[in-house]
Structure 1
Amino acid sequence: MPFGPGLPFTLDFAGFTGAGFSPTPGPGQLNSNDFRFLGFSETTGQTYGATLTTPGDYARGTITGTADPTTAGVYAATTGVAALGTSLVIQPTGAEFGMTGGTVTLRVQYNGAAPIGGFTFDYDGVFRNNADRSTAVTVAYAVQADAAEPTTYSAPIASLGFTTPLTNVGGTAAPWTQVALAEQSISAAINPGDYVFVRFSLIDNGGGGSRDETGFDNIVLTAAGGPVLPTLSIAPATLSAAEGDAGITPYAYAVTRSAAPSDSTVQATITGGPGLVAVDIASVLVDGVPVAGFTLGTPFTVPLTGAATTATVTVNVAGDTTLEPDEAFTVTLSGPSSEYALGSAATATGTVANDDIGTVTAISAIQGSGVASALNGQLVTIEGIVTGDYQN
């Protein structure tokens, strides 16, 4: 489920019955494109979009009344608390979400048309503590263009974490408890199409006896208001030039920023298209300075300092006399510094047009003497006279 300006992501687990997760959820299920679990013995839940509807770790059903399950898994808790209703909770054991901990990650895509400078996040913690054992919950986040699980997250946000009491609350008749956490504003550069990941980490926090059922409810993720971050873009979108027989042919691209409130950097990566290999690129320059150790596919830094709003990236293509099809390359911007976001034009292409003429091949050699030409699939040069017959 996406979020955007005026369209918050909200999830209160109404209708959830612990029936599992699916990319096309049915009654009582949640969307597995939104969730990823790490810490259960059944590992299939570690993949977004997995189908997890068979009774097991991800589909343990509903907890009602004073029922006290001890099997690890995801449950729907009928809490009896008006502000909560039904909540998603985890039942830990020593080996699962217990001594070594576990994580539940929420993934939400930003579908706004313009970059934003952050988001707000709010949720309620939920627990039932019927034994003298504590669970610690921490929350961290990550933002990236890739839908895959991030490799790094922020440090835990202290104001979004909570710890259940070490002393039981009510013994076997322990009620469900709501932890009302305050909404937090988080600064982060978020571009259209980026994914926001919010990771809940649960781990045993000492004590003895059965572990607390612990979870969350009333999740709200909202696009931040306020000023939009300045953007970094590249132009023109396409360039085409004849390769040349020798020397270099320059392809110049302007990397621009919409405003200059502070120094900025952005990463640029050049990748080869069909036919283009490393030796075809003689050099790459940023504002006239060669990029040291340039290689295809490896990002390099484009700085914009002071009042400068434009930097020039020049790709110098080496000329040759080899008869070959047209070649191409792509320049892609990524990783803008924290005060900036990528603009809508973050990719440019270059076409290296072939201008070489090879040895003229006789028509008879092309035709050959067999059913198929021996030169089938090859690029050849021919010569001849074109005639036309115009009849009134």
Structure 2
Amino acid sequence: MVDAAGALDAVWRTDAPGMRAVLARRLGDLDRAEEALQDAVSEALRRWPAEGVPDRPAGWLVTTAWRKALDALRREATGRAKAAQLALEPPAEPTGDDRLAMIFACCHPALSEPSQVALTLSAVSGLATEEIAAAYLVPTSTMAQRLVRAKRALRGATFEARPDRLSAVLATVYLVFNQGYDAARRDLAREGLDLARQLADLLPAEPEAAGLAALLTLHEARAATRVDDAGRLVLLPDQDRSRWDRAMIADGVRRLGRAAALDAPGPYQLQAAIAAQHALAPSWAATDWTAVRGLYDRLLTLTPSPVVALSRAVATGFVEGPGAALAEVDGLAERLAGYRMWPATRADLLVKLGRRDEAAQATRRALALATNDAERDLLRRRLADLT
């Protein structure tokens, strides 16, 4: 007997985002595309056991879903004209362009940034609502409602790669990656990395797309060393560099080189260049901190952010000493008082200056602002060492 369920599961895991994208792009309605695709899956479960799995199962599902979507439109008085028009040009099998168009659609300006990220995870990456809700620490019902509202907002939208949305698309993909990276969710981080690489491959003339792919590749190269055997967070200075993925580092550096060759430096490229300095250094102390600080100076001219200035202060600590770095950090107090990394960075510098009581106080402040359990555990261990 044909294992229809197994074949369907395999094609769904590999092709669902592309199938969803090609249907949504043609229909102009993500919600309707998903409903039609689910109907096609149900029909496959009925027919494939007896008829056999088609040679091109993804194409079969898209064609069947397309037919069902047109049938649904014809049953609606307001949809008959649209159905007649759409029937003239049925969709082809999914392509990378369809997936790219879906990413750009998910970054529609009518959606808030959290909704853009959540919808990208759902529609483009194929994550279940339960998984996305867990990543955002909200009830599944809340996330389901957010996704429904986001899909409604896209009805009638143009599903195409619009240059004016590239900045939002890159930011969304970066947030997808960070959502997983910061919480040690390797699956989410890999989703963000895969999306960044697809964007870079499909938009080879966009230097910032290449820069983002390089940046995330370099970060992911050391992901395996970010937690120890007990599941505790390990920061960059303490990671075992012999376990970093050297092939992935080489790939990240190559991608950065391709971006730099386009001669249009941007924030993602500069961040990737900083990540490359860390990835290629033999140790934390042996990092070229002068080069790192210089890159942060360039980054500050493009994105004058206090968070970037805080990272620059860390480099200053190695170039000029912890006293000079602490002065830079304290100068950011008003703008970063509620940002968890400000007191954590300050605590590290205070330890180096021998001011342990003040360091403990700063660590308590960082602990109160921590956003996940791994960070809280690390800060509690630091506080125990100080007290």
Same fold? TM cut 0.5: no
TM-score of the pair, normalised by structure 2: 0.26
Say which one has the larger Rg.
1
- Larger strand fraction of residues: 1
TM-score of the pair, normalised by structure 1: 0.26
